Amino acid sequence: MQQIGELIDDLSQTTTILFTDQSVRFALKHAQRAYILEKGQVVHEASSQDLKADQATQDRFLSVA
């Protein structure tokens, strides 16, 4: 996973990358922005730093039931 993260970081310097991942921590570590989709609609948008700090949004949308 570390090598994949490094590759994403390197590529993101010159290229826009859209990736999905079930590992929220991994995704937020390597993303600049986060979009949360629910039934194909964007229900939340924030910088990755803001989403890391927003526990209420994490609990609402990113928790496993």
pLDDT digits (tens, 9 = 90+) for 8-62: 888 888 888 877 767 888 888 888 899 999 999 999 999 999 999 999 999 999 8
CA distances to 2, 3, 28 from 35, rounded to whole Å, are 23, 24, 11
CA–CA separation, 41 and 22 (whole Å): 18
Q: Which pLDDT belongs to residue 57?
A: 94
Number of domains, the chain? 1
Q: Which pLDDT belongs to residue 64?
A: 60
Q: Which pLDDT belongs to residue 28?
A: 87
Read off the pTM: 0.73
Cα Rg of the chain, angstroms: 12
Q: Which pLDDT belongs to residue 52?
A: 92
Its domain, for residue 40, covers 2-62
